[in-house]
Amino acid sequence: MSQNPLPTLSYMAHRPMTRDELAVAINSGVIDTVIMAFPDMQGRMVGKRMTGWFFLQDVADHGTENCNYLIATDMDDTALPGFAFASYDQGYGDMVAMPDWDTIRVLPWQKNTVLILCDLSDPRTNSRVAVSPRQILRDQVVVVQQAGFVPMIGSEIEFYLFHESYREAFEREYRGLSPHSPWMQDYQIVQTTFDEYVIGDIRRNLDECGIPVECSKGEAGRGQHEVNLRYAAALEMADRNLIYKSAAKEIAASHGRSVSFMAKWNASETGSSCHVHSSLWTQDGSPAFASSSTSTAMPELFQHYLAGLLATARDFSLLWAPTVNSYRRFQPGSWAPTAIAWGSDNRTLGMRVVGHGAGARVECRTPGSDANSYLAFAGTLAGGMYGIRHKIALEPAFDGNGYEATNVPRIPSTLLEAIQCWESSSIALECFGPDVHGHILSHAKAEWAAFNRHVTDWELTRYFERS
């Protein structure tokens, strides 16, 4: 009698696994490690590695506990005051990470390992943790769905590749690092061929684990690259980005190299972006932003959506540019926008309308590669739906060089200015509610306070002898 073959890693490649396939793979010994992970506020993957048998026996149906401080810390995992969600006064209890069974992926760059992304809940009430990044995005997707649409998002995240390993970079205090190319390599084929042992490995591994990769290309900095993933529904796209950024670091490290997703790693180099392309589709699969067959005019729904993005751009900048370093990127003539305006295929502006027919969409060029995709996408959808809800009229397109414009609002120039915009924003309160608004504000204020507790190299050079 014939039997179904046991699953192999090649059998499970190029698509997410099912729960039943995972159980068979664990029981057959093909998979022995299960990573249960979720994004923290910085957009990093955090969680636990489980042995396969323990996952099936004790975790699959009940989840796994994690300290709730994980979404109320700074980048150093320092427990911070000021959060209503979690604090020493409340004892820093647990939150339960429950597997999202649609996210099981074999990680081909890790031995016999699958990754499952999780949603967080309160163990006392079983309610979702509203201030967790994945839930913040889920809630904005619900707003879009309640209006009768499905949000589709694509994004382009850039990074720099360095010759040094992460350990070597740390021991050098991140000074004197060598970008993998001595030349600017925008669209260059020969130059990027020298990087293919790392970049090609990233592309192939992502594609194999069920994250479709469209292409990679050199970018406008020395050693700078971009890997473009296939667009998807909003939550799926954020999940893909979470895995992509982790995979790029892990795969580069396996080659003795490092990559950086800093928005601006060096003042003289081009910043790294996370351009967010968004559009709405009807529940039956029709593109809501497409012009009619008899007109090239932008549909009214698209106009209101784009107008909402412009109206909320300053208030929501924290969601797109979350760190002190984020604001180093916004420089004239740098390929990063400074003007809050829109135009048709104009890369000098914060909002760029591109595509035609079913591909019609808006590209928000403000987010940097350091953005947490869940929060960046949540801000994009919240802004667009704010415009639709309030039927905001779209201003005329800007024609020309946005860097030289004198009559348009500007992206905040510092993290402090962005904090002030968010803190005083009635729009942010309307779109996100007081809990999420306060949580993001506390996180940003902690980042600003941490920066102000340090003296920079620039200050020492400028003031040590001459002040």
302-321 pLDDT, tens digit each: 999 999 999 999 999 999 99
Same domain, 103 and 162: no
Same domain, 100 and 189: no
What pLDDT shows up at residue 3? Answer: 44
Same domain, 433 and 325: yes
Q: Which two tokens stand for residue 46?
A: 């955090």
Number of folded domains in the chain? 2
Rounded to an integer, what distance in angstroms lies between the CA atom of residue 150 and that of residue 283? Answer: 6
Q: What angle do CA 138, 419, 353 make, to 5 degrees?
A: 60
Rounded to an integer, what distance in angstroms lies between the CA atom of residue 45 and that of residue 38? Answer: 6
Does the pLDDT of residue 390 top 60, yes or no?
Answer: yes
Secondary structure letter of residue 250 according to DSSP: H
| Residue 420 within a domain | yes
The residue segments making up the domain with residue 218 are 139-449
Rounded to an integer, what distance in angstroms lies between the CA atom of residue 29 and that of residue 26? Answer: 5
Domain end position, chosen among 61, 94, 129: 129
| Residue 91 within a domain | yes
Tokens 């940003």 found at: 444
Rounded to an integer, what distance in angstroms lies between the CA atom of residue 318 and that of residue 367? Answer: 9
Tokens 């120039």 found at: 413
The H-assigned helical ranges of 87-165 are: 133-146
Does the pLDDT of residue 6 top 60, yes or no?
Answer: no
The residue-averaged pLDDT of 99-123 equals 97
The residue-averaged pLDDT of 230-258 equals 98
| Residue 9 within a domain | no
| Residue 134 within a domain | no
Same domain, 116 and 154: no
Does the pLDDT of residue 297 top 90, yes or no?
Answer: no
Same domain, 298 and 352: yes
The residue-averaged pLDDT of 80-91 equals 89
Same domain, 202 and 53: no
Task: List, for residues 177-200, the tens digit of each pLDDT value.
Answer: 999 999 999 999 999 999 999 999
Q: Where are the beta strands (DSSP E) in 355-400?
A: 361-364
Secondary structure letter of residue 368 according to DSSP: B
What pLDDT shows up at residue 15? Answer: 79
Q: Which two tokens stand for residue 91?
A: 């004892």
What pLDDT shows up at residue 406? Answer: 87
| Residue 435 within a domain | yes
- Pick the more confident residue, 154 or 16: 154
Rounded to an integer, what distance in angstroms lies between the CA atom of residue 444 and that of residue 440? Answer: 6
- Highest mean pLDDT pick, 81-85, 366-370, 454-458: 366-370
Residue 57 Rama label (left phi>0; alpha psi -120 to 50; beta): alpha
Residue % of the chain over a pLDDT of 90 = 89
Does the pLDDT of residue 348 top 60, yes or no?
Answer: yes
What pLDDT shows up at residue 4? Answer: 42
Same domain, 223 and 366: yes
| Residue 14 within a domain | no
Same domain, 112 and 160: no
Residue % of the chain over a pLDDT of 70 = 96
Task: List, for residues 33-83, the tens digit of each pLDDT value.
Answer: 999 999 999 999 999 999 999 999 999 999 999 999 999 999 999 988 889
Spatial CB neighbours of 224, under 8 Å, sequence gap ≥ 6: 158, 159, 160, 161, 179, 185, 218, 269, 270, 272
| Residue 235 within a domain | yes
106 close to 14: Cβ distance less than 8 angstroms: no
Rounded to an integer, what distance in angstroms lies between the CA atom of residue 279 and that of residue 317? Answer: 20
Reduced to 3 states (helix: H, G, I; strand: E, B; else coil), residue 43 is coil
Same domain, 147 and 109: no
Spatial CB neighbours of 213, under 8 Å, sequence gap ≥ 6: 203, 206, 207, 227, 228, 229, 230
Using alpha carbons, select from 231, 232, 229, 234 the residue that is nearest to residue 384. 234
Q: How many Cα neighbours within 13 Å face the side chain of 462?
A: 5
N-term to C-term CA, the chain: 87
Work out the pLDDT band at 13, boundaries 50, 70, 90.
Answer: low
The residue-averaged pLDDT of 433-449 equals 96
Cross-strand bridge partners of residue 273: 368
Same domain, 281 and 220: yes
- CATH code of 396's domain: 3.30.590.10
Work out the pLDDT band at 9, boundaries 50, 70, 90.
Answer: low
Domain end position, chosen among 79, 105, 129: 129
Work out the pLDDT band at 1, boundaries 50, 70, 90.
Answer: very low
- CATH code of 120's domain: 3.10.20.70
**What are phi and psi for residue 39, nearest 5 degrees?**
-80, 140
186 close to 193: Cβ distance less than 8 angstroms: no
Average pLDDT for the chain: 94
| Residue 117 within a domain | yes
Task: List, for residues 143-152, the tens digit of each pLDDT value.
Answer: 999 999 999 9
Same domain, 230 and 301: yes
Task: List, for residues 207-224, the tens digit of each pLDDT value.
Answer: 999 999 999 999 999 999
Q: Which two tokens stand for residue 465?
A: 């002898």
Same domain, 193 and 113: no
Rounded to an integer, what distance in angstroms lies between the CA atom of residue 135 and that of residue 347? Answer: 32
**What are phi and psi for residue 34, nearest 5 degrees?**
-120, 120
326 close to 368: Cβ distance less than 8 angstroms: yes
Does the pLDDT of residue 252 top 80, yes or no?
Answer: yes
**What are phi and psi for residue 149, nearest 5 degrees?**
-130, 165
387 close to 306: Cβ distance less than 8 angstroms: yes
